[in-house]
Amino acid sequence: MQQAGDYITEEKKHALETELKDLKGPKRKEILATLAYAKSLGDLSENAEYHQAREDQGKLEARIAKIEQILQSSQMVKGGGGEVIEVGSKVVVQKEGSKEEKIYVIVGSEEADMAAGKISNRSPFGEALFGKKKGDDVSFKTPNGIVGYKIVKVS
């Protein structure tokens, strides 16, 4: 598996497909109805409702295009499970000088959420972990200097 590719999990793919269906259906109809109402109010040059509806429509269409692009260009991955860290791998690491272990899952950039323990394969930490195995030491540069970790477990 290449590190630089765009990846999404099956769970994220289903969530994006559900969002896309909602945006193309009810949300699009709602904005079109709002636009029709705003047009009926008269002078469009000074019609705040019309301008807001057009802005909302632009944001909706941009989000639809973004989701379609993600679904088209991303490769779906299942959970890791191997010995080598790749997208979908669950990794237990221990920071140098600490006894505390932290669990992270390597995901594509669209799913990254540090608070939920999901690290992008394109982040400095994700890049440092990618391709490594249990027992390896990794380090990467942060704004506060170089940070090192020991890989305790890969699943």
Q: Is residue 1 part of a domain?
A: no
Overall pTM surpassing 0.85 (yes/no): no
Same domain, 115 and 60: no
Q: Are residues 117 and 63 in contact, defined by beta-carbon separation less than 8 angstroms?
A: no
Q: Tell which of 59, 76, 93 closes a domain.
A: 76
Residue 79 has pLDDT above 70, yes or no: no
Residues in a beta bridge with 93: 102, 151
Q: Tell which of 20, 50, 76 closes a domain.
A: 76
Same domain, 66 and 117: no
pLDDT for position 4: 54
Q: Are residues 119 and 112 in contact, defined by beta-carbon separation less than 8 angstroms?
A: yes
Residue 78 has pLDDT above 80, yes or no: no
Q: Is the dihedral of CA 137, 138, 143, 145 positive or negative?
A: positive
Residues in a beta bridge with 147: 140
Q: Is residue 137 part of a domain?
A: yes
Q: Are residues 135 and 84 in contact, defined by beta-carbon separation less than 8 angstroms?
A: no
pLDDT for position 97: 87
Same domain, 38 and 82: no
- In this prediction, residues 42-61 reach a mean pLDDT of 90
Residues in a beta bridge with 149: 95, 138
Assign 62 a pLDDT band (cuts: 50, 70, 90).
very high
CATH number of the domain where residue 67 is located: 1.10.287.180
Assign 110 a pLDDT band (cuts: 50, 70, 90).
confident
How far is Cα 140 from Cα 72, in angstroms, rounded to an integer? Answer: 32
Nearest residue to 91 via CA among 49, 60, 133, 148: 133
CATH number of the domain where residue 96 is located: 3.10.50.30
Residues in a beta bridge with 13: none
| Mean per-residue pLDDT over the chain, rounded | 89
Residue 148 has pLDDT above 90, yes or no: yes
pLDDT for position 101: 94
Q: Is residue 2 part of a domain?
A: no
**Domain span including residue 136:** 78-154
